[in-house]
Amino acid sequence: MQIQLPNIPNEPVPISFRDGITLHIKREDKTHPKVSGNKYRKLKYNLQEAKRQGFTKLITFGGAYSNHIAATAAAGQLCNIETIGVIRGDELASKIAQNPTLQYAASCGMKFHFVSREAFRKKHTPEFKIYLENIFGKYYYVPEGGTNHWAVKGCQEIITPCDTAFNFITTAIGTGGTISGIINASFEHQKILGFPALKGYFLSEEIKKYAEKSNWKLIHQYNLGGYAKINDEFIAFLNNFYQKTAIPLDPVYTGKMIWGVIDLIDKGFFPKQSKILAIHTGGLQGIYGMNQKLEKQNKNCLIYENEIG
């Protein structure tokens, strides 16, 4: 089985910046109508490998709003491989109908196995693997977030020879697989800036496991205090950005990255005439869950929920 993913063209972001700086965006969220962004890139070679090794089942791990869970479910359905999602939080078993991510994954045929937070923390142990094998039989293993050697190989295909004109490439980071692929595929004159969505995680070590070059840097000050943390000002920024550009950003990853890039441009971080390419890694399904939360708190929601298909 060969999975073909398109090369995504870069679009200019229609905002004028100081110092002759330009910003383009690579809309990886448009990679596939059902499996958005970097997650399909990360799964591509894993799915091919699972098939090649004769597996009929794939197990992976994630939280209740995980883009990786949604993408794995959809990609498994496309490639005809059964998917099982081990989900953090056993209280969620009775709440599938209220959770847009789990509902979507279930509609793609994913089966769930809910575990407590303590059990979830032990998911990488050999005991847990045996435990899962006793329930589900032989399966192909994809770690939480999807990062492994094959995922990095898939993400190397995000960058193409059409991207040589840029001197900065920026991306959001979760586990570090996507930026590692981008680093490996980048050109010598380019600097890769990563914006971690999580706080206080040993990311540099993770990236060094996979990255073959050192032309990268992490920028930590735009995570708003941690994973999926937001504030009113940030939500207003996302809505304003959408109104100006018609580009929808997700509030967990790409939104914080673009927010950071624009703030850094405004503060003079980038040299004059810099050509910046931001990677839109997708994740738009996360908007539904975020809007549910905002609505409950009587806050302003993301206005483009209905525009994201």
Ligand X SMILES: *Cc1c(COP(=O)(O)O)cnc(C)c1O
Task: Please give the structure tokens belonging to residue 80.
Answer: 């005809």
Which CB sits closer to ligand X, 21 or 250? Answer: 250
189 to 13, 167, 181: CA distances (angstroms): 22, 6, 16
Which CB sits closer to ligand X, 100 or 174? Answer: 174
Q: Using CB under 6 A as the criterion, what x/- string covers residues 72-111 for binding ligand X?
A: ----------------------------------------
Backbone φ and ψ of 226, nearest 5°: 145, 180
Which CB sits closer to ligand X, 166 or 251? Answer: 251
Which CB sits closer to ligand X, 179 or 224? Answer: 179
Report DSSP state, residue 301. P
Q: Out of 84, 108, 172, 261, name the contact with ligand X by CB under 6 A.
A: 172
Using rule CB under 6 A, residue 281 touches ligand X: yes
Q: Identity (one letter) of the amino acid at 197?
A: A
- Candidate segments 1-9, 43-51, 265-273, 280-288, binder of ligand X by CB under 6 A: 280-288
Cβ-count burial of 128 within 10 angstroms (0-12 exposed, 13-18 middle, 19+ buried)? Answer: middle
113 to 47, 100, 126, 133, 136: CA distances (angstroms): 20, 17, 18, 12, 10
Say if CB 33 and CB 173 are below 8 A apart: no
Using rule CB under 6 A, residue 290 touches ligand X: no
Residues 38-67 that bind ligand X (CB under 6 A): 38-39, 67
- Candidate segments 74-82, 169-177, 215-223, 297-305, binder of ligand X by CB under 6 A: 169-177
Using rule CB under 6 A, residue 260 touches ligand X: no
Q: Out of 8, 35, 110, 173, name the contact with ligand X by CB under 6 A.
A: 173
Look up tokens 């995680």; give the residue: 201
Q: How many residues line the site for ligand X (CB under 6 A)?
A: 21
Chain center to CA of 279:
10
- Candidate segments 34-42, 81-89, 120-128, 266-274, binder of ligand X by CB under 6 A: 34-42
Q: Is the dihedral of CA 114, 116, 117, 120 positive or negative?
A: negative
Look up tokens 């847009």; give the residue: 100
- Candidate segments 51-59, 84-92, 249-257, 264-272, binder of ligand X by CB under 6 A: 249-257
**Rounded Cα distance, 151 and 119, in Å:** 25
Q: Out of 147, 186, 190, 274, name the contact with ligand X by CB under 6 A.
A: 147
Using rule CB under 6 A, residue 145 touches ligand X: yes
